[in-house]
A = this chain, B = another copy of it.
Amino acid sequence: MSKKVIIVGGVAGGASAATRLRRLDERAEIIIIERDEYISYANCGLPYYIGGTIQERSKLLVQTPEMMKKRSRIDVRVNSEAVKINTLDRIVTIQQNGQETYEENYDFLILSPGAKPIRPSLEGIDHPRILSLRNIPDTDRLKSMVDLDTVKTVTVIGGGFIGVEMAEVLTERGLKVTLVEAAPHILAPFDDDVVPIAEKEMQDHGIRLLLGDPVAKFGSADDNTVEITLKSGYTHQADLVVLAIGVAPDTAFLQDSGIKLGPKGHILVNEHLQTNCDGVYAVGDAIEISDWVTRIQTAVPLAGPANKQGRIAADHIAGLPSRYAGAQGTSILKIFGLTAASTGSNERTLRRLGIPYHAALVHPGSHAGYYPGAEPLTLKLIYDDQGKVLGAQGFGYDGVDKRIDVLATVIRLKGTIHDLTELELAYAPPYSSAKDPVNMAGFVAQNDLNGMSPLIHLTDIHDRDPESTMLLDVRSPQEYATGHISEAVNIPLDELRERIQELDSSKKLLVYCQVGFRGYTAVRILRQQGFDVANLTGGYKYYKAASFTPDKYV
């Protein structure tokens, strides 16, 4: 007997599930219920269409209902909303075009309703020029607004991925953009010490960043201008507001279904992506999954996991034993020329969960320095006492995606910093160095863990006790003169052996150089002379980058 499978939501996870299921089962009856007019569109491409990088709207439409019907015999019903699920009798109530409803029974149900932009109940939130971005109609609305000659200033509320991407693409279109973020920093997947690299890139391209200052209320001078008042009391106006403060699972329709939801409304599933109700699966942005690194329950509203989950739910319905093993939150974004990418856990998460960790920072070149076009990149590596890699964050103008993908792979395969030192990655001068940045990060972490060159961090510098510590800058006098950490003594590395008597052996020496490499050599020299000494990971470059704060309210 053929199965009847209803899929609620025809984007990412839902579309993947449908086509996979058809390949597994020619006879299944497969119905996609999609609230909007469009299915399987290029969700992650929407900002780039608004910004003009993607010029043809048709390119956003990866699959049409007609294509799905023709090739995969899938019954796609757009403008159709699942309004109620009866999990006992296995019936979905569907509302078509917002009007009449009808019922459809199922053998299996895959829920892929996604997540919707959060719209807080702030004063003035209903101003017609406060828009969010989720789907194609939102995109059309935003684009038609941005296309107006009269729209010259935009305020983006929220410094997550969508907010930052929108700020970037609108700036590239020539608009004057302000980005407001309630937290002290944008882009929560990144730690506070490295994310200023991204913030500086944004300011350097003319975006004004108002950080650590939530919106208090909106007002309107007129229909075409929004007035934004922040909690600090600072007020400014914009011709358009893009609201991107985050997403919430779009699961209100499940409330009386008996399907278990998490504290924030996410659908709870097991490793086969089955809910607590027989025959009901769930995938994508609306579900809670297990974090690959910490094994904590979390939500990872990203396209990669959604697509993989769709495939796995289809497999399981077709009788294959596929499992979803958890998400590590690998993510990446382009900010003008800069790439920012991360994978696994960051310090903030690990601290919150009380999981001990270490962190190392390196600034190697994207490829051999003697070959033209090498760009410095910043790689932050987080690992535990046993050397297991827990997370990584990268910033730079070339080759960041590659290194984060390698580190994401190591995290997936439960590798260690020792593995990083042994990875044999592709080297020719246009592509890398004989010791790849990932190898280098491994070496630094290994030297840290085995005590050969213990690392210190910004907090160790900021919180140091001047009585018991001495800060030693081993760069050249020229470098020292152009900027150094206050109270640091300058002894260039190449003079260190001769001038060792200038050091106070009763104090702990905190060494730094520009990027960390000379500091490492200095530590090795000094440790062998019996000094208690450690090296600032990432060096002065890291210190300097971390201390960037945007020009506010200018």
Task: List residues of chain A with CB under 8 Å of any chain B CB.
Answer: 12, 22-27, 42, 44-45, 48, 53-54, 59-60, 62, 70-73, 161, 292, 302-308, 311, 325, 327-334, 339, 341, 343, 368-372, 401-402, 404-406, 408-410, 412-413, 415, 419, 421-432, 434-436, 439, 443, 452, 493-494, 497, 520-521, 524-525, 528-529
Interchain CB contact (< 8 A) of A423 among B331, B401, B408, B424: B408
Partner of A12, one of B431, B434, B493, B525: B434
Which residues from chain B contact A332 at a C-beta distance below 8 Å? 426-428, 431
- Tell me if A48 and B413 are in contact (CB < 8 A): no
27 residue pairs bridging A and B, Cβ less than 8 Å apart:
A12-B434, A42-B368, A44-B368, A54-B370, A54-B372, A62-B370, A72-B521, A73-B497, A304-B427, A304-B434, A304-B435, A304-B436, A305-B424, A308-B439, A330-B425, A331-B428, A332-B431, A333-B428, A334-B428, A341-B426, A401-B432, A404-B426, A405-B405, A406-B409, A408-B424, A409-B415, A413-B419
Please report the C-alpha to C-alpha distance between residue A426 and residue B304 in the assembled complex, in whole angstroms.
8
Residues from chain B with a CB closer than 8 A to the CB of A306 are: 434
Complex Cα distance, B421 from A408, in Å, reads 13
* Max chain B Cβ within 10 angstroms of own Cβ: one of A334, A371, A425: A425
Report the Cα distance A521→B327, complex, angstroms: 28
A427: B residues at CB distance < 8 A: 44, 302-304, 330-332
A434-B303 in contact given A327-B424, A368-B45, A422-B308 (Cβ < 8 Å):
yes
**What is the distance, in angstroms, from A18's C-beta to the closest C-beta of chain B?**
13
The listed residue (B25, B44, B406, B419) touching A405 by CB distance below 8 A is: B406
Which residue on chain B has the smallest CB distance to residue A407?
A: B409
Bound together, the chains give a CA A543 to CA B525 distance in angstroms of 60
Q: How far is the CB of A353 from chain B (nearest CB, A)?
A: 20
Q: Once the chains are docked, how many angstroms separate the CA of A22 from the CA of B341?
A: 35
Decide: A412 near B422, CB < 8 A? Known: A60-B370, A368-B45, A427-B303: yes
A431 to B303 CA separation, bound complex (whole angstroms): 13
Known contacts A409-B409, A424-B412; is-contact A42 B404 (Cβ 8 Å): no
What B residues does A406 contact at CB under 8 A?
Answer: 405-406, 409
Which residues does chain B contribute within 8 Å of A371, judged by CB atoms? 45, 48, 53-54
Do the beta carbons of B24 and A429 come within 8 Å of each other? no
A192 to chain B, nearest CB (A): 21
Given A402-B401, A413-B415: A328 in contact with B54 (beta carbons within 8 A):
no
In the complex, what distance in Å separates the CA atom of A62 from the CA atom of B371? 12
> In the complex, A535→B306 CA distance in Å?
27
